Structure 1
Amino acid sequence: METTMRSLLLAVLLTLAALPSQARPFTDMAGRQIDIPAHPHRIFPAVTSVTVTLAALAPDLLVGLAFDLPEGAAGFLPPELARLPVVRVLESLDGERILATAPDLVVGWHGITQARAETVMARIGKPLLLVEGEVLARHPATFRLLGAALGRGERAEALARYLEDSQARLAAALAGLPDEARPRVYYAESPDGLTTQCSASTRLEVIRLAGGRPALECPGGGLSHSQQVDMETLLALDPDVILARDRRTAEQLAARPLWQKLRAVREGRLYASPTLPFNWFDRPPSFMRALGAQWLARLLHPTRFHTPIHVEARRFNELFFGVTPPEDALHRMLAP
């Protein structure tokens, strides 16, 4: 009899655990008042940048990833992330595949992907919480809002404070830097190096924060201002520094005879953006830019900094992802 009662009680508890949490009203960063679970415990990120944010704030609540983890990222991240299913969201937002992860809350981005996410979540009946992240300065508020939504306020505050403090330290180190001392930096975004972003793009935020100037000027503003240039244009620009999106691209470009005519290549100022556990510069544009700006600033203005970047990178990874990265992997990634 006692065994039967225990079995019944267990069945009731399991049934209750499977029921949706009681809803509560919540205002997201798009100003929308929505109903979210009182205690969300299964979260899906509807955009790549949010994957990075949630991997830092609440990896235990994630039920899926919006993109494949970079090669080598496992040593920098909690092991449970590598076991999550991947539902790629860049090309399309597959509502059925998201539904299969059984989320009780979906987190998206207030901006260019918002309308698509709202349509899909309305169709599959899942609450959508929108956050911001186009510029680094909004990420502290994003962490704090998600901390309030997910019951992780204390951790969110610690991460937000680091972002604010690190940017204040960086600005202080570069204070008084005249325009003529800011190197012109070209971003080689594509494998052939001829797709780039021009100066109005927020994707070049790291260059500006690090005390550089985008080499290619353009009017307007916004998240992405992709430009195709030809080799003749690039040779005429002859930037002081070239930044490639990853090490493979940097190595391939440095080996090409036409690229060797560029002063930055000849003088060893073609750099690869670090990519672990996620890209420090772009793709996806995330809070990792705070570390990317510190890395690039040390390359552009080495005499203004005293703490080696690998020391700051280790501290950053321990704080945001709870993992001490392998020292050899860290040094390989940061090697010139």
Structure 2
Amino acid sequence: MKTMLSLLLLLASQLIFAQTRVITDMAGRKVTIPVKINRILPHDEKTCLMLFPCSSGKLISRGLNPDNTDMKYIHESYRKLPITDIKNPEAVMSAAPDIIIAGCFVPEDYSRYEKLSKQTNIPLVIIDLNILKMDNSYRFLGSLLGENKETKACADFLDNFYKELSQLQKTNAKNNASAYLAVGSDGLMTAPSGSKHAQLFDLLGIRNAAETEIEARGYATVSLEQIMLWKPDYIFTVDKGGDDPYTEIYASPLWKKIPAVQKKHVFHIPEEPYNWFGNPPSINRIPGLILLSEFFYRQSQKKAHEQIKAFYRLFYKYPLSETELARLLQSKK
């Protein structure tokens, strides 16, 4: 009897082993995962956005509470995803995912993700969200999930976009204008160079007008007098609804002394379904790069619009019309 029990336990362990495989994730971590993955829990919404175009219905949650947004211009299947409190191990286990996937800016501190995996005994895989390496991330996801058709389409789009952007930077003279990122209802919070919130400026070599130090969470509070001294040529506003400073900037007589306002170079960055400059910092920033390449590298508007619509069609599974795109860009003058 004892021999039979030992044999059964051995067979069971071999069966479990046969149903798993060991992979190396994008952080270089060895992770044992199921051979067949049917239920994926994204760690947060920035990860969910990355996974959405290639998960083939395997996403079981959006991970964290969504931002306050109407969620326009994205397929309804995304909007209908339930919310799981990722900070609650019991809620995570109740969701019964096969794996958890966390989008990170490799390299970074992974301890909080690994803690969740240990608490729940659910394997956690890390993918890279660095904006100019996302083509590699989709290739990795293709290997991980076996969704090669979808992941290949995403990787190919990004690979072509990166090449076109690099060529544009080489062949087109850059507009040497400066840019200011206006945050908060008065526009007096900004993201200086080196902040993740201003990363698109840094990536494209755009001169950040905010000559100040980062204070907290990647932002700095400044005065209107400082902005007058910096004389930004472009102002981009990024907050939502009543918190967005776009209207205040054009209405204030003091802001009218700034070159960007005088030239009507103040633009509200589109935010549907997610902000093009970040929040969350994921695949949604690609349209931001497209927009800035039009402003600062003289990309043709027609080409930029084609790229944005192709992006929405592939990554948000939404056929953005010219009318809808015009609505998104309504502050673009």
- TM-score category, normalised to shorter length: 0.7 to 0.9
| Aligned-pair CA distance for 1:270 | 1.0
Residue aligning to 1:4? none
Mapped pair 1:238 → 2:231: yes
Structure 1 residues 57 and 50 mapped into 2: Cα distance closer, same or farther (>3 Å)? Answer: same
* Match 1:43 to one of 40, 44, 50: 40
Q: Find the counterpart in structure 2 of residue 11 from structure 1.
A: none
Question: What's 2:206 paired with?
Answer: 212
Pair 1:73 & 2:71 matched: yes
Indicate the residue corresponding to 2:324 in structure 1: 329
- Note the aligned Cα RMSD (angstroms): 2.8
Structure 2 contact 172–297 (Cα < 8 Å) conserved:
no
Tell me, in whole angstroms, the C-alpha distance in 1 between the residues paired with 2:176 and 2:56: 38
- Structure 1 match to 2:6: none
> Match of 2:111, as an amino acid?
A
Using structure 2 for the length normalisation, give the TM-score.
0.82
1:296 aligns to what? 292
SS at match of 1:193: coil
Give the AA of the match of 2:43.
A
Q: For 2:325 and 2:255, how far apart are their aligned partners in 1?
A: 28
Shift of 1:186: 1.0
Q: CA distance change for structure 1 residues 225 and 327 in 2, over 3 Å: closer, same or farther?
A: same
| 2:218 paired residue among 225, 229, 234 | 225
Closer, same or farther: CA 252–152 of 1 in aligned 2, 3 Å: farther
Deviation track 1:100-139 (CA, whole Å, cap 9, x = no partner) reads 3221111113455621121122111211101111x31121
Partner of 1:167: 162
Inter-partner Cα distance in structure 2 for 1:127 and 1:288: 27
* Structure 2 gap segments, 5+ residues each: 1-15
* Preserved contact between residue 210 and residue 294 of structure 1 (Cα < 8 Å): no
- Residues 1:247 and 1:266: Cα distance change in structure 2 (over 3 Å): farther
Residue 53 (structure 2) aligns with: 56
Aligned-partner SS, 1:192:
coil
What letter corresponds to residue 228 of structure 2 in structure 1?
L
Give 1:95 shift. 2.2
Q: How does 1:10-21 map to 2 (within 5 A)?
A: none
CA distance in structure 1 between the partners assigned to 2:134 and 2:211 by the alignment = 26
1:191–1:20 distance in 2 versus 1, CA, 3 Å: farther
Match of 1:121 in 2: 117
| Cα offsets for 1:246-266 (capped at 9, x unmatched) | 464123433334333322122
Structure 1 pair 309/57, CA: closer, same or farther in 2 (3 Å)? same
Matched, 1:98 2:57: no
Task: Write out per-residue CA displacement over residues 275-331 of structure 1, whole angstroms, 9 at most, x where no aligned residue.
Answer: 2222211111112222211112213344x4252533322221112233212443322
CA distance in structure 2 between the partners assigned to 1:21 and 1:310 by the alignment:
49
Q: 1:173 corresponds to which letter in structure 2?
A: L
Matches of residues 271-310 of structure 1 in structure 2 within 5 Å?
271-302=267-298, 304-305=299-300, 307-310=302-305
Which residue number corresponds to residue 198 of structure 1?
A: 192
CA distance in 1, matches of 2:66, 2:17: 29
Measured after TM superposition, the shift of residue 271 of structure 1 is: 0.8
CA distance in structure 2 between the partners assigned to 1:94 and 1:188 by the alignment: 35
Separation in structure 1 between the aligned mates of residue 266 and residue 301 of structure 2, nearest angstrom: 23
Aligned residues: 309
Amino acid at match of 1:67: N
1:107-118 aligned at under 5 Å gives the runs 107-110=101-104, 112=108, 114-118=110-114
**Secondary structure of the corresponding residue to residue 307 of structure 1:** helix
How far is 1:333 from its partner?
0.5
Q: In structure 1, how many angstroms separate the alpha carbons of the residues matched to 2:213 and 2:70?
A: 38
> 2 CA distance for matches of 1:218 and 1:59?
45
> Which residue identity lines up with residue 71 of structure 1 in the other structure?
T
Letter in 2 for 1:185: A
Judging changes above 3 Å, is the alpha-carbon distance between structure 1 residues 122 and 297 closer, same or farther for their aligned structure 2 residues?
same
| Correspondence for 1:182 among 154, 176, 179 | 176
Matched, 1:145 2:143: no
- Counterpart of 1:28 in structure 2 is 25
Residue 98 of structure 2 contacts residue 122 of structure 2 at CA under 8 Å; is this kept in 1? yes
Q: Could you list the per-position Cα deviations for residues 167-223 of structure 1 after superposition, in whole angstroms to 9, with x for gaps in the alignment?
A: 2212222325567x3221111233332222221234323224456222224689xxx
Q: What amino acid sits opposite 2:277 in the alignment?
A: F
Counterparts of 1:201 and 1:158 in 2: how far apart (Å)?
Answer: 31
1:233/1:69 CA distance change after superposition, 3 Å: closer
